[in-house]
Copies of this chain bind each other. A is one copy, B any other.
Amino acid sequence: MSRPRTERPTLAEVADAAGVSRATVSKVLNGRHDVSPQTRSRVELLLDEHAYVRRSAARGADAPAVTARGGLDLVVDSLENPYTLEVIRGVTQAAEEEGLELVLTMTPGDGAAAWVERVAAAGRQGAIVVTSSVSAPQRRSLAAARVPLVLVDPLVVTEDVPSVGVTNWAGGLAATEHLIELGHRRIAVLSGVPEASSAIARVHGFRAALANAGLTADPDLIRPGDFGAVLARDSALELLRRRRPPTAIFATSDAQALGAVAAARAAGLAVPRDLSVVGFDGLPLMEWSSPPLTTVQTPMADMGRMAVRTLAYLAGGGELESARIELSTRLVVRESTAPPREDAGN
């Protein structure tokens, strides 16, 4: 599915395609920090698509704008979701590329004030907080200590703190369009944590796909819960036991999708013959579920990398074009989706 790789493109071709100067492409290639993360991301995507071989070895030649002093603080929540591991991977790789020491801590919780104090006292170059929230007082303390902060996939996205996430709306749209194209009309959605920005956007994408196809969303088929498998299984089981059950379920996380598949098993239904299921995340091993899960793949490791680069850019005095950076999602069609049964009576 990748583009044909012919001769090596010139730097000018990539610059043209990205709509930037050759100097900017050159800066990206050399790992310079005076390029905004958004532009860098666009250029890198094109470099990858054009199979441009980066001289990563040449990186060391340019002194990074940020020195190793202090390093980065990476704050993660309960460390129970494989999702988090992927983000950590991206952060670790990028931190090593930037020569930044990486200090790992769990969500500060009660010790929040102590955490801010410690980060400030240690002279950290910045802090990255994954899937958690940072209170307004904490943010003010970090700002006062001149420690830049970048959130990865925060529960609630606000415009006053830089954050890296994914195109949740487009992902929800693509997942639902896929189901509609297969012929599904009664599509339920396991909509995750009601107040989570990511879940809200995914459900909006779901609604948009239905509206685009001239369908209306049945409020009775939209089931909130959390991002885990247990509540999802219970919700899905309830849906499947109705007189007119849905023929497909869009789950706003892979764990919820596994819960939906378990519910189908419990109800004596086969996936995808009797029920199609689409997940969201693209966790490792989902291609090895039974059946392999159709899901919206999110670039978890890239989110981690982008967070580090954004911090480095901010620490170097750069200003962001917008506080929110969204990386692309991609629908991966595997074997958990198929046309509805003829007798499903749409």
Contact = CB atoms under 8 A, between A and B. Distances in A.
A104 interface: yes
Nearest to A102: B104
A53 interface: no
Q: Can you tell how many copies of this chain the complex includes?
A: 2
Contacts of A92: 79, 104-106
A33 B103 CA distance: 24
Nearest to A290: B290
Interface stretch (A176-184, A253-261, A308-316): A253-261
A106 B92 CA distance: 7
A104 B89 contact: no
A290 B262 CA distance: 7
Contacts of A89: 78-80
Contact of A288 (B84, B103, B259): B259
A278 to B, nearest CB: 16
| Best-buried of A81, A86, A103, A104 by chain B (most CB within 10 Å) | A104
A285 interface: yes
A74 B104 contact: yes
A284 interface: yes
A231 interface: no
A99 to B, nearest CB: 11
A288 B229 contact: yes
> On chain A, which size bracket covers the interface?
35 or more
Nearest to A291: B265
Interface string A232-261: 000000000000000000000001001101
B85 A96 contact: no
A82 interface: yes
Contact of A85 (B79, B93, B105, B289): B79
A267 to B, nearest CB: 13
A275 interface: no
Interface string A99-114: 0011111100000000
Interface string A101-135: 11111100000000000000000000000000000
A190 to B, nearest CB: 14
Contacts of A71: 103
Contacts of A106: 92-93, 96
16 contacts: A79-B86, A82-B82, A84-B85, A85-B85, A92-B105, A93-B106, A96-B105, A255-B285, A258-B285, A258-B289, A261-B290, A265-B290, A265-B291, A283-B285, A285-B285, A290-B290
Interface of A: 71, 74, 78-82, 84-86, 88-89, 92-93, 96, 101-106, 229, 255, 258-259, 261-262, 265, 271, 283-285, 288-292
Given A74-B104, A79-B86, A259-B288, 10 more contacts: A79-B88, A79-B92, A85-B85, A96-B105, A104-B104, A229-B285, A258-B285, A265-B290, A271-B290, A289-B290
Sorted from nearest, which 6 A-B pairs have the closest CB atoms?
A85-B85, A79-B89, A258-B288, A290-B290, A82-B82, A104-B104
